[in-house]
Structures are given as C-alpha cells and as structure tokens.
Amino acid sequence: MAGRSSRAAARQDEIFERRQRIIEAVEFPLKSIDLCFADQLHARDAKLATEIEQVVLHAGQAFGYCGRQSVDGEHHADGAVRFIDRAVSLYPGGVFRYARAIAEAGGAVIAGARVDLAKPISHARKIPFCWHCPEGEFVPSAELQAAIDAANAAATVIRALYQKNLAVITKADKSPVTEADVRAEQVIHEVLSQRFPSYGFFGEETGQHSMDAESIWLVDPIDGTKSFVRECPFFSTQIALLRGGRFVLGVSCAPAYGELAWAERGAGAWLNDSRIRVSQTTTLDTSIVSTGNLKTLAAGPQWPRFGELVTRVSRIRGYGDFVHYHLLARGALDVVIESDVNILDIAALTVIIEEAGGRFTDLDGQAVGLGTTSVLASNPALHGTVLEALRS
C-alpha cells in the first residue's frame, strides 16, 4: 500500500506541474498586451476568464464519462489536462486582449490553483501546441512556438488599430508606416527576445541588431501596410528564423483575412491547423499563375518572355502579398511570379512553400537569401518549365 501511495503522490505532483505550465502559458503574453492597452477595459474579455474557469473546473467531470479510468483516477486527471490543452488554445492574447480587464475578473481558477491573470511572470515555460495529421502528431519547437505566439500578439495589436484612420508617415524609401506597424513590431520583439535573448533581430521598423548571431529573427510586422491603410485585408505579419544562412522556420499571420500559416524544416507546412501541400499540376496549359509586384520585370528583358508565358497558361491572376503564397502552398494555384520584393516580405513564405513540397527561388533560379528581390515559386513539376520560359 505504501508503494502505491507513493506512486499516487508522485503522479499528483506531475499533474500539478502540468497544470502549472498551463497557468504560465495563460499568464505570459499579458505583460506586453497590458503595455499596449493599459487604458482600455473590455467587460467581454473579463467575462471570458470566468467562462474558461468553468471549462477547466468541469473538465475532469467531462472526462469521467469517456476512456478507461484507473482506480487512482490518474487517467481521469490526465484527461482533464489534455482537455484544457485543447479547449484553451494556450494563446490568451487572442481571448484575453486586455490585461486590466482580466484583473477586473479577480483572476480565474485553473484546475484548483488560483491565478491572477493580470500578473506578469518573469519566465515563459509553455506547453506546446499539438497538431494531428495522417502522418502523426506534430509538436513545434520552442522557436516555432515563440514565433506563433509573437505573431498572435501582433495580431491582437493590429486588429485593435485596423480601420481606425491612423496617421501615416512616409519613410525615406517612400513606403508608409503607421502606429500599428511600430507597436506590432514592439510586441513581437518582446516575445522573441524574452524567449531567445541571444538571437539577432532584423525588423522592418527597428532595423538590424546582432546580425552576427548564429540565429536571427526576420520580422515584418505588417507586410502590406498600403493595404492596411486602405482598409483592404491583404496584409500580414511575417516572422522567419535564419540560422547559418538558411531559413529554418516561418510564420505568416493574416489577422484580418483569418489565416495563420507556419512551417518548420522537416515538419511540413500548416494553414489554420491543417497540413497543406502544393498542387500536382504538371503542364502550363492547365496551370494557374499569380503575379505580384512586377515593375522591374516590366522594365527588363524578361518582360516579353513573361508575356509569351501568359499566353501558355490556363489562368493568370494577381492575388499578390501573402495571399497567393498561401494559395500556392495549399495547392489552389501553381505558380507565383514577382519582382521588387524585400527579403522580410518572403523569408517566412520561403519555408512554408518548400515545406509544402514546392520550389522557391528568384527569377534567375537562385536560392533565396538576404539580398533576394524577385520570386519564382511553384510546385516542383512546373518550376523548371517556367524558369526556362522566362530565360529563353
């Protein structure tokens, strides 16, 4: 009996530890969010604290009716923890948008532990998300989890400022910037630097920092600021990680469009929790091609060849921005052609397309790097054909 009691106690300690990790996951992002929205209170967000409290408190009861239970109730408690993991997305920024509003709720009870959701913590241990696909379960690395959390934190900022008639400043390169760009990059930087303080950071608004580091974050807080300003939903947050000269993960978050795509080397590409792959189209006459920026292409020697290519494909469209890359990655179109891009616009998308089974180079067929300014992305069957057509 003593041995069994000891095992049960150890099991309870393990369950408590897992619960505490969930608590920490709920608390962590609120520090940066509170800085951004300290003066705004939303009763709806405070109410959600109570609702999640009820979900958690009844989780064990719900699991009592499904699955095999051990005499100690260990499976029962395990089931409750797994239920919490799935019922609460573990990104509270998308639910609890305003930390002060959560304080109004007086905290929440999570699996028997009292939690002050408005109180920031000094560390960031998190239970990773898990996604399921026919190939099995995918648990992201700590780096990918950080990038997803940072993108979601930025999405909270961006949604709050979208369609608010913000002032627009024109930068030296004639591109626009708004308060939303700046504040979104701030919260991204805070999340990433807290988790990985030794990594470099290359941001659209704050520039380059520690670029000699082995690992460097590349961030465009709002790729498509012109669309954002014109209240067109074709803008996104782009976060990539460069390590040893190679892009190893990418997150593309389009908050107004409702899409979140991500990929990590060797783990495939995902869009809104579903595994995605490029098309299997093999001929130009059945292909769909989308274009984006084309100014340099239009002024150069490849323009007539591009015109000839257009006559050979089934359909030509100009979705642009993140949209046609997401469509390409999930097999809804076959080729993307662009000139006049910045590496911050495409670094994350490079990983997403390649992990979806596609090819991603510049218009000369060269690998993507920090100096890349053009794109030829496609499924593998058509890449060589299109590249040859633009060269000949």
Residues 6+ apart with CB under 8 A from 229: 166, 168, 176, 178
pLDDT at 20: 59
How far CA 46 is from CA of 40, 43, 97, 120, 140, in Å, comes to: 12, 5, 9, 17, 30
Residue 135: is its pLDDT beyond 90? no
Q: What does the domain layout of the chain look like in residue ranges?
A: 2-115, 142-262, 284-391
Residue 108: is its pLDDT beyond 80? no
11-15, 231-235, 299-303: least confident range: 11-15
pLDDT at 137: 62
Decide if 154 contacts 31 (C-beta within 8 A).
no
pLDDT at 173: 84
93-97, 156-160, 327-331: least confident range: 93-97
Distance CA 261, CA 247 (A): 15
pLDDT at 172: 87
Give the pLDDT band of residue 36 (cuts 50, 70, 90): very low
Per residue in 162-199, pLDDT tens? 999 999 999 888 889 999 999 999 999 999 999 999 99
Give the pLDDT band of residue 329 (cuts 50, 70, 90): very high
For 206, the token pair is 């704050």
Mean pLDDT for the chain?
A: 78
Q: With b meaning 16 or more CB within 10 Å and e meaning fewer, what string describes 196-233?
A: beebbbbbbbeeeeeeeeeebbbbbbbbbbebbbeeeb
How far CA 260 is from CA of 286, 305, 354, in Å, comes to: 28, 35, 17
Give the pLDDT band of residue 248 (cuts 50, 70, 90): very high
pLDDT at 130: 53
Architecture of the domain defined by 284-391? 3-Layer(aba) Sandwich (3.40)
pLDDT at 25: 52
195, HSE (Cβ side, Cα atoms, 13 Å): 24
Give the pLDDT band of residue 134 (cuts 50, 70, 90): low
- Strands (E) in the chain, as ranges, are 108-110, 113-115, 131-133, 136-138, 169-170, 176-177, 200-203, 207-209, 215-223, 236-243, 246-254, 259-264, 269-271, 274-276, 288-291, 315-317, 335-339, 359-361, 374-378
pLDDT (mean) for 54-78: 45
pLDDT at 102: 34
Decide if 201 contacts 189 (C-beta within 8 A).
yes
Distance CA 199, CA 275 (A): 29
pLDDT (mean) for 60-89: 43
pTM of the model: 0.69
Angle, to 10 degrees, between the axis of helix 321-329 and the axis of helix 343-355? 10
Percent of the chain with pLDDT over 90: 62
| Sheet strands side by side (includes 315-317) | 315-317, 288-291, 335-339, 374-378, 359-361
pLDDT (mean) for 253-257: 96
pLDDT (mean) for 99-112: 37
For tokens 């089934």, what's the residue?
314
Distance CA 111, CA 15 (A): 10
Give the pLDDT band of residue 119 (cuts 50, 70, 90): very low
64-78, 136-150, 203-217: least confident range: 64-78
Distance CA 77, CA 158 (A): 38
SS3 state of residue 314: coil
pLDDT at 174: 85
Residue 123, H or E segment: none
Residue 128: is its pLDDT beyond 90? no
Per residue in 199-247, pLDDT tens? 999 999 999 999 999 999 999 999 999 999 999 999 999 999 999 999 9
Distance CA 354, CA 365 (A): 14
Distance CA 313, CA 298 (A): 19
Assigned fold of 142-262: Fructose-1,6-Bisphosphatase; Chain A, domain 1 (3.30.540)
Distance CA 271, CA 253 (A): 10
Is the alpha carbon torsion for 128, 132, 136, 138 positive or negative? Answer: negative
pLDDT (mean) for 127-132: 48
SS3 state of residue 150: helix
Residue 389: is its pLDDT beyond 80? yes
The count of other CB atoms within 10 Å of the CB of residue 50 is 13
Residue 290: is its pLDDT beyond 80? yes
User: Which residue did the predictor score with more confidence, 81 or 7?
Assistant: 7
